[in-house]
Structure 1
Amino acid sequence: MPAIADPDLTTESKSEISDTTLMAGLGLTSFAALLLELGLTRLFSVVLFYHFAFLAISIALLGLGAGGVFAYLLKPQLAKIETRTLASRLCTGNSILIVAVLEIVLHVPVALDVAAKNFFRLSVLYLAAAIPFFVTGLLFSLIFARETRRIPRLYGADLCGGALACLAIVPLLNWLGGPNAILVAGIALAGAGMLWSDTRRARQQAALVAATLVLLTAANYSGRLIDVVYAKGKFRDPAWVEFARWNALSRVEVDNQGQAKVIVIDADASTYIMNADLSRWHGTAWERALMSAPPALANVLRPHGEFAIIGPGGGVDVLRAVANGSPSVTGIEINPIIATTIMRGRYADYSQHLYQRPDVHIHVTDGRSYLRATPQNFDVVQMTLVDTWASTAAGAFALSENNLYTVEAFEEYFNHLKPDGMVAITRWEFRQPREALRVVSVAMEALHRLGIANPARNFIVAAQGPLNEDGIPVLVLAKKTSFTPQEESAVAAHLANYPALHLLYSPSTPESKTLTASRVRTGTTSPP
């Protein structure tokens, strides 16, 4: 690189920097930079949208690259400053910049609207978040250019710092939360500023910044000082929030919405905490509300069946299954904040100890992993709106691939059913159907692999109203055996009692003109 070969930029420090100072300072700076990048990924998934989460990677690349270019362009001016002096100033100043960036990220509302002001806000957020990486790129370029004799060890220190950040991010998110994990990156940079300092005054200044950030992190442990202000372009009123906690998976809060309490995940997905009295279920508003939803058809057809519910959240499906007579309900919830902290801890009394009933068995793990490991078979394997409407509408996941809707996953679901069991999947649907079609296509391919040549009679599809707008829940019921006339009659009787439910397909309604019905009748498995 020209920057490395240029004599002005590679001017050696007047005093040799010890290996310990150089490696520790560079490693701690690398740790802070990667910790900031990973922390922003988690933060962006809350304040923006899932498909914006990896924006943090491009921000880091932009900043680091721009910092290197800046170091080359201003090499005569930078060459006049001692390495340790410059590194100390950059790290200490950068630790303060991180706090400013955190405030900008939390206070700038960015929505999905295609509008000039929205584009401007996203640009402000993008450029502001790139500044700390710009400073880091500037520092790294100078260090590597001036210390060419120790390049192998510098790379080793850089990699060690980054590796430690990867190890630290999960426990930091679990213990301190998203904003505080960003503050820890600032503390690390202030610590690096202390290591780089070659004067007592500079060391004291860096120590003061580090101590201030430590106190700020401790004071913000509950999230009352620095937390999400705008998310998905909307203001998050603190008056709503009764409880909020972060972990490596998500930010979970409990909002007070009138007389109801709602679990809100990443300021997007929501699930009501059930507090119905099961001894007074019949004829209540709870029964009318829960049985008028599409997933209730699984309870109509298997009222006394054993249920495996993936992603039970606040217990909607669990309550419906128990209330209808299920002797055993297995809930598989991946987020320990929801399953343990909220439903079996802080809000156990409010939820009538639903998750602590002897007929309810909650497991905190991944749904597919649990099913793959358990020898138990179920009458119903159920997933209800596991994905949020916003992420479904966006059409992408940035943090992880959703492996709940693969052909292999459906094979596992079918293999863990009793002989006459069923899979019940509820998805958000669009005016032009696509999500229910995908579920049908994947389920049909899984059934084909299990040796069922023509599964047209193995499906029932129902929606919560006509598909005349986006965001309508649609239920897909799939079995390894055909639905019987008695089962279809039970569905028809339930729909007659709850006219808001619309039947999109059943084996005895071949006249249906919906795309879903066409997909089932023709047996095609390719996605739309």
Structure 2
Amino acid sequence: MVDTPQRLDLVALAGVSAALLALEVLLLRLFAFSHWHHFAGLAVSLALLGLGAAGTTLALAGRSRASRGDGWFLVGLLVTAAGFLLLLALQSRIALRPLFAGWRPGELARLLLVDLVAFLPFYGAGLAIGQVFLRWPGHTRSLYAANLLGGGLGSLGAAALLRLIPVEAALGVVAALLFALGLLLAGVRGRRGMAAAGLLGLALSVVVSIRPPAPAVSDVKALSRLRELPGVETLAVRPGLSGRLTLLRADSLRFAPGLSLRWPDAVPSLDAAVLGSDRVVPLPRQWPARGEHMAASLAGLPLELRPEGPVLVLGSSAWQTPVAAQGRALTWVEPDGRLLDILRARGAPAVGLRLVEDGAWRQLASPADGAYTLIAVDRAWEGGDAASEDYVLTDAGLALALERLAADGLLAVPLPLDYPPRHYPRLITTLERALQRQDVAVPGEHVAVLRGLQALLVLASPQPLDAQTIAALRRFAERWGFDMAWYPGMARAQANRLHRLDSPLFHDIAAAVFTEHPLPVAGQRFHHAPATLERPYPWRSLAWTEAPGLVRELGGRGWSFLDWTLLLSVLTTLVVALLAFLLILAPLGRLPAIRPPFARLSVAGYFGALGLGYILVELVFFQRLILHLGEPVLAASLVFATFLVGSGLGSAMSPESATRGSRRRIYAAVAAGLVLALVPFTAVVVLTAPALPLRALLLVGMMLPLAWAMGRPFPWALRQLAGQRRWIPWAWGINGFASVLGASLAPLISIHLGQATTLAVGTLCYLAAFAIAGRWLEER
């Protein structure tokens, strides 16, 4: 047996690692498309347990020399590649409805089947990757470096593939590359049976890449419902980082949220761009677009109140401010360039629309030539996920928008109407905080709220709303049948007149906030603290203590008001923790006694702390860099690739010897890297000005030293177990379990305690590892 890994071994290890990270990225996109994003995170977290389970398997099988040969590695590689194809085949035939799994055993069985199949490629990759550390325990630096560098390339490669081809085709391409790698390795090492399996898999993967099976979509998803409309036509299907874009056309596609019930005429037909399988953006078939109905719509009201001056629209949704603003100087900011390309092709620039592909925060923070008369946050109509960062709808973001307005300008934020109100109380408290940041003494004098049957519009101005504006609001509401929920000087008896509720709750909430009184009981059903830069999660509504009462009071309808992402994140954390505990304990009876200075608890503590700390730090930087880059998928690709490649380089340069000096140098570098990386973490405006390539380069430069430093503690410690090689896969598996646990913990900590707390917990994990390593050195 060769005692040194050859170049081909390192290439193969990097290839499996690249496939693993690519699979993680692609699975999130695939599962979010085929079933809800809430369940996508749960499914991938459970699948990632395959890495830790592989460590347990290797720890149990470590006595056999067969576990340290080419055959074991090739089996893991081929299982990974075959798992890609099996997962694709299953996803093309099973349309999941996960919300029904709680009371339909058949649906639960289908969901578990998909999760189990997703587990297989991670398990196979874990066998292949973990086996090399067991096989060559004295070469952890080069092995871990190849592992991380491959992972970084896989993350970038997955992002590149998603821009060019559908996710199902991307999975086929990765599987083909993996089978080709297995074919090469098996051929060189004389494994004819493995080579034949690799050749067969390669041929099948090529076919799948060219003609991939389309993922099945649940019948309750928006894409499925729209496809069932009579006469619907698919105009285009375009891949992209933010998900598949499907452009549909049918005469029955009509969208007019916020339209008065008194509007007497028809609403024009529109095309629908479906992003992923749930987000729907209506698009006019040609510009100029028909917009007569906007005169009776809440979407057109702000333009009627401020008929002159430039307009800024942030994001896109069914709330169609650009249609109402035709002929005005309008800047439309949308991060998805595919939507803008469609608009350009249909003549939008000819009617005064300036289309900008960028993030909303960056547009607000960038230097400007002048002030806007109206800023409409159209994307707020779509809502969002409880764990999704939205920095514009924080107190700092809304304050920034108010700064960009002319003195008499208006900020317009639309919301779908929920009863009891789910997001409205939090928007009002956040807006009050934003006005206070602008040194406004009486925030309530700057705000007006109108309510229709299904829509809510919140208006705010840097200056108190004057009598002329209030009179215009009341005339509009009277003419078109909308309820005034709040305006300066409004009496409670003037609310709740047309679309009657049990009480004028929307007025009472605004009155309570602006007079600094407690919210009414019904307004406290949901989380209502202001969204801040530290906790930029404006769509989080779940108040844990109120949830049981809400479900009891509303019955089955109450479950739809809960933040399922948070509930499933907690469930994932508990399930992962339990399974990890069982799988960590499983091999202990079969392992030999561990020799000093190590102890089972200290090994588990050290490698668990590293796994948890690494993923917490990595994910909190991903959360914060959305502020600077605008697009979450772009931020994820940049952060994950930087951390993995940087850590791979750091691993290759990790000290060989276990001394107090090497320990101090390793962890001092981590501390110094954290200090430098805090610049993009804490900066709000500084990094928003440069162009995207330069901004990305600056961010990488600030994170790379930290990533380099964080790649060194793991191989340094793992090499100290070289004399007790059967404990190596156990330690590696614990690191994997902790990483999976951290992936579900990171959003929970950030949402409830703040991003700085997540970073602090990650830092404490490295301090714990530093202390444990010190005990090892003292006991030598």
TM-score of the pair, normalised by structure 2: 0.57
In the superposition, relative to structure 1, how do residues 160 and 526 fare at CA in structure 2: closer, same or farther (>3 Å)?
Answer: closer
- Matched with 1:110 is 97
Query: Equivalent of 1:502, from 466, 480, 483?
Result: 483
Secondary structure, in 3 states, of the residue corresponding to 2:325? helix
Secondary structure, in 3 states, of the residue corresponding to 2:392? helix
- Matched with 2:373 is 379
Preserved CA contact (<8 Å) 1:59 1:130? yes
In the superposition, relative to structure 1, how do residues 509 and 315 fare at CA in structure 2: closer, same or farther (>3 Å)?
Answer: closer
Distance 1:183 1:60 in 2: 19
- What is the CA distance between 1:234 and its match in structure 2? 7.5
Query: Equivalent of 2:292, from 287, 294, 299?
Result: 287
Note the alpha carbon deviations across 1:168-219, whole angstroms, 9 max, x for none.
2221110123222222331232133124312263335424422432343233
Distance 1:453 1:81 in 2: 72
- Matched with 1:416 is 404
Preserved CA contact (<8 Å) 2:19 2:178? yes
1:482 aligns with 2:464: yes
- What is the CA distance between 1:232 and its match in structure 2? 5.8
Choose between structure 1 and 2: higher strand proportion: 1
Query: Equivalent of 1:263, from 256, 273, 292?
Result: 273
- Matched with 2:84 is 98
Q: Which amino acid aligns with 2:321?
A: D
1:219 aligns with 2:211: yes
Superposition pairs of residues 153-302 of structure 1, within 5 angstroms? 153-197=142-186, 198-199=189-190, 201=192, 202-220=194-212, 225-230=213-218, 236=224, 237=227, 241-260=234-253, 261-275=271-285, 278=288, 286-288=291-293, 290-302=294-306
Distance 1:277 1:25 in 2: 53
- Matched with 1:329 is 330
Preserved CA contact (<8 Å) 1:313 1:339? no
Note the alpha carbon deviations across 1:266-310, whole angstroms, 9 max, x for none.
21121211247759x5xxxx423x344322221221122321001
Distance 2:428 2:61 in 1: 60
Note the alpha carbon deviations across 1:58-102, whole angstroms, 9 max, x for none.
1343111112222333456x6447722232233224312211112
- Matched with 1:9 is none
- What is the CA distance between 1:424 and its match in structure 2? 0.1
Q: Which amino acid aligns with 1:206?
A: G
- Matched with 1:370 is 363
In the superposition, relative to structure 1, how do residues 396 and 227 fare at CA in structure 2: closer, same or farther (>3 Å)?
Answer: same
- Matched with 2:309 is 305
Secondary structure, in 3 states, of the residue corresponding to 2:416? strand
Distance 2:20 2:145 in 1: 16
Note the alpha carbon deviations across 1:386-443, whole angstroms, 9 max, x for none.
3635x4xxx513xx41212111111110111011001000122320113122222111
- Matched with 1:469 is none
Q: Which amino acid aligns with 1:507?
A: P
Query: Equivalent of 1:522, from 506, 509, 515?
Result: 515
Which ranges of structure 2 fall in alignment gaps of 5 or more residues?
Answer: 254-270, 496-503, 518-527, 531-542, 544-780
- What is the CA distance between 1:505 and its match in structure 2? 1.3
Preserved CA contact (<8 Å) 2:20 2:122? yes
Preserved CA contact (<8 Å) 2:287 2:351? no
Distance 2:43 2:51 in 1: 12
Superposition pairs of residues 131-170 of structure 1, within 5 angstroms? 131-170=120-159
Secondary structure, in 3 states, of the residue corresponding to 1:402? coil
Q: Which amino acid aligns with 1:450?
A: Q
In the superposition, relative to structure 1, how do residues 402 and 52 fare at CA in structure 2: closer, same or farther (>3 Å)?
Answer: farther
Preserved CA contact (<8 Å) 2:72 2:131? no
Q: Which amino acid aligns with 1:287?
A: E
Distance 1:124 1:502 in 2: 50
Distance 1:315 1:498 in 2: 18
Preserved CA contact (<8 Å) 2:223 2:274? no
1:26 aligns with 2:13: yes
- What is the CA distance between 1:463 and its match in structure 2? 2.0
- Matched with 1:6 is none
Q: Which amino acid aligns with 1:396?
A: A
- What is the CA distance between 1:495 and its match in structure 2? 2.0
Preserved CA contact (<8 Å) 2:317 2:378? no
Query: Equivalent of 1:83, from 52, 69, 82?
Result: 69
- Matched with 1:37 is 24
- What is the CA distance between 1:477 and its match in structure 2? 0.2
Distance 2:328 2:175 in 1: 52
Larger RCO of the pair (alpha carbons < 8 Å, separation 6+): 2
Which ranges of structure 1 fall in alignment gaps of 5 or more residues?
Answer: 1-12, 466-471
Q: Would you say how many aligned residue pairs link Structure 1 and Structure 2?
A: 480
- Matched with 2:33 is 46
In the superposition, relative to structure 1, how do residues 110 and 103 fare at CA in structure 2: closer, same or farther (>3 Å)?
Answer: farther
- Matched with 1:402 is 390
Preserved CA contact (<8 Å) 1:27 1:158? yes
Preserved CA contact (<8 Å) 2:450 2:486? yes
- Matched with 2:522 is none
- Matched with 2:523 is none
Q: Which amino acid aligns with 1:216?
A: V
Secondary structure, in 3 states, of the residue corresponding to 2:340? helix
TM-score of the pair, normalised by structure 1: 0.83
- What is the CA distance between 1:30 and its match in structure 2? 0.6
Q: Percent identity?
A: 21
